């Protein structure tokens, strides 16, 4: 989650909270909205203590819808993935129909900024509520000028998924490759050691610490690391020769190729089509004998394969699959 510093005094602090907190608040707000009916029921029954506590004022419907549908890309007071509410308020102040039309059928508009997805799933009445809340709550306000902010963090070349980015990464060698395999599944692959280093779930990386100046910093992993591999799962002595040969891009994702001892290896990590998880495909040439893989114990992940059997963490490919097999890595329920 991005840290969102600064605030507009007249806007509720909910916008500045992490998204999960905001969702929780929406839930609370929904419960609060349901409360009056409950109180009516209670009033018909005798009760000892009078209701003395006022429930917190629920956010306006427009604000609730904003939190649900818009807040991940639009911040109240500054440009984020898309324009700020202040800018939107200025653009659409007296043009609510244009606002609704745009939300339902957005077009490519700003150069260098990712195109907004259609909000066709949000009803016109709700969009009108969002519009009136945005206009009312931003009237007369000016955007916050953020110093040292990454002007390009929202640009398509940064936000597109999948994405490959070589950059200095934490807890990896200096020749690291960060890969956003999907919206939420990412991994760090080390071209120096020719092996996967770790897998995480979240919003990929923040490269600004490296890019903002001379590179004397590491990129930040944004999310939760689910797996850290201690060594290559392939059979190799500590001092086995490793040589990185490069990668081939297919569907936006790399197939790494390298030499490991006597073997020539291709390794490709792709997202699962459904559910959170990654599929890891190995293709081997030149193995002197049938290989067994030793996976790293991962409390947060499970390993499965249709191409062989697991005995604990040791994977043995089935007959006929010794040279090419896939291991599925999924987050433990």
Partner 1 sequence: MRSWLFALACLAGAAAAQQDPWTDAFTFERVEIPPGIDPQIGGVDTTPSGKLAVCFHRGEVLIYDPAAATWAPFAEGLHEPLGLLAESDASMLVMQRSELTRLRDTDGDGLADDYETVFDGFGMSGNYHEFGFGPAQDADGNLYVSLGTASNGAGVRREIRGPWSDLGVPRGQMTTGTKEWRQVREAAGRMYSRVPWRGWVVQLSPDGEQVTPWACGFRTPDGIGFDADGRLLVTDNQGDWLGTSKVHHVRQGHFHGHPASLVWREGWDRPALEVPVAELE
Q: What 3 state SS string does 276-332 have?
A: CEEEEEEEEECCCCCCCEECCCCCCEEEECCCEEEECCEEEECCCCCCEEEEEEEEC
Residue 209 CB, nearest approach to partner 1 (Å): 11
Least distance in Å: CB of 114 to partner 1? Answer: 9
Cβ neighbours of residue 262 closer than 8 Å, sequence gap 6 or more: 286, 287, 288
Sign of CA dihedral 267, 269, 273, 276: positive
Left, alpha or beta for 207 (phi > 0: left; psi -120 to 50: alpha)?
Answer: alpha
CB 189 within 8 A of CB 176: yes
Q: DSSP label at 251?
A: T
- What gap in Å lies between CA 86 and CA 6, rounded to an integer? 14
**In angstroms, what is the minimal distance from the CB of 285 to partner 1?**
17
Task: Please identify, using beta-carbon distances, which residue of 251 and 311 lies nearer to partner 1.
Answer: 251
Backbone angles phi, psi at 98, to 5 degrees: -60, -40
Q: Is 156 in the site for partner 1 (CB under 8 A)?
A: yes
CA–CA dist 139, 86 (Å, integer): 8
Candidate list 61, 173, 223, 308; residue touching partner 1; CB under 8 A: 173
* Cα distance between residue 209 and residue 150, in whole Å: 9
Residue closer to partner 1, measured from CB, 10 or 243: 243
Q: Which of 245, 290, 302, 309 binds partner 1 (CB under 8 A)?
A: 245
| 23 binds partner 1 per the rule CB under 8 A | no
Q: Under the criterion CB under 8 A, does residue 109 sit at the interface with partner 1?
A: no
d(CA 177, CA 19): 28
Does 287 contact partner 1 by CB under 8 A? Answer: no
Single out the residue of 23, 152, 276, 310 in contact with partner 1 (rule: CB under 8 A): 152
Decide: is 66 part of the binding site for partner 1 (CB under 8 A): no
- Closer Cβ to partner 1, 85 or 177, answer by number: 177
Which C-beta is closer to partner 1: that of 244 or that of 276? 244
Name which position in 81, 113, 272, 328 contacts partner 1 (CB under 8 A): 113
Asked if 233 touches partner 1 (CB under 8 A), the answer is: no
Indicate whether 228 belongs to the interface with partner 1 (CB under 8 A): no
Q: Could you tell me which stretch among 23-31, 83-91, 174-182, 322-330 binds partner 1 (CB under 8 A)?
A: 174-182
Counting contacts by CB under 8 A, is residue 167 touching partner 1? yes
Verify binding: residue 163, partner 1, rule CB under 8 A: yes
CB of 256 to partner 1, least distance (A): 10
Q: How many CB atoms lie within 10 A of CB 284?
A: 19
All residues at 6 or more sequence positions from 47 whose CB lies less than 8 Å from its CB, including other chains: none
Judge whether 302 and 288 are in contact, CB under 8 Å.
no
- Read off the DSSP letter of residue 254: E
Query: Which position among 204, 247, 282, 315 is part of the footprint of partner 1 (CB under 8 A)?
Result: 247
Out of 6, 18, 117, 174, the only residue in the binding site for partner 1 (CB under 8 A) is 174
Residues in contact with partner 1 by CB under 8 A are 111-113, 151-152, 155-158, 163-168, 172-175, 177, 191-192, 207, 211, 214-217, 244-250, 254
């Amino acid at each position: 989650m991005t840290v969102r510093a600064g605030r507009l005094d007249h806007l509720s602090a909910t916008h500045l909270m992490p998204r999960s907190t905001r969702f929780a608040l929406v839930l609370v707000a929904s419960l609060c909205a349901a409360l009056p009916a409950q109180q009516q029921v209670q009033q018909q029954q005798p009760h000892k203590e009078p209701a003395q506590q006022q429930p917190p004022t629920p956010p306006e419907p427009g604000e609730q819808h904003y939190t649900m549908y818009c807040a991940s890309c639009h911040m109240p007071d500054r440009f984020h993935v898309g324009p700020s509410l202040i800018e939107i308020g200025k653009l659409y102040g007296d043009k609510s129909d244009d606002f609704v039309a745009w939300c339902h059928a957005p077009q490519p508009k700003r150069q260098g900024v990712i195109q907004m997805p259609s909000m066709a799933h949000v009803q016109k009445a709700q969009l009108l509520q969002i519009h009136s809340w945005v206009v009312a709550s931003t009237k007369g306000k000016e955007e916050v000028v953020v110093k040292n902010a990454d002007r390009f963090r929202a640009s398509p070349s940064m936000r597109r998924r999948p994405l490959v980015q070589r950059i200095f990464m934490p807890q990896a060698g200096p020749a690291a490759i960060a890969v956003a395999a999907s919206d939420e599944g990412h991994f760090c692959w080390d071209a120096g050691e020719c092996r996967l280093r770790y897998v995480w779930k979240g919003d990929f990386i923040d490269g600004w610490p490296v890019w903002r100046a001379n590179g004397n910093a590491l990129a930040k992993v944004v999310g939760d690391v689910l797996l850290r591999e201690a060594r290559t799962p392939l059979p190799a002595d500590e001092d086995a020769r490793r040589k990185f040969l490069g990668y081939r891009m297919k569907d936006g994702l790399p197939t790494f190729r390298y030499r490991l001892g006597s073997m020539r290896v291709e390794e490709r990590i792709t997202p699962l089509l459904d559910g959170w998880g990654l599929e890891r495909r190995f293709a081997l040439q030149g193995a002197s004998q049938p290989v067994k893989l030793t996976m790293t114990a991962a409390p947060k992940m499970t390993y499965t394969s249709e191409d062989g059997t697991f005995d604990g963490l040791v994977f043995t490919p089935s007959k006929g699959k010794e040279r090419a097999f896939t291991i599925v890595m999924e987050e433990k329920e």
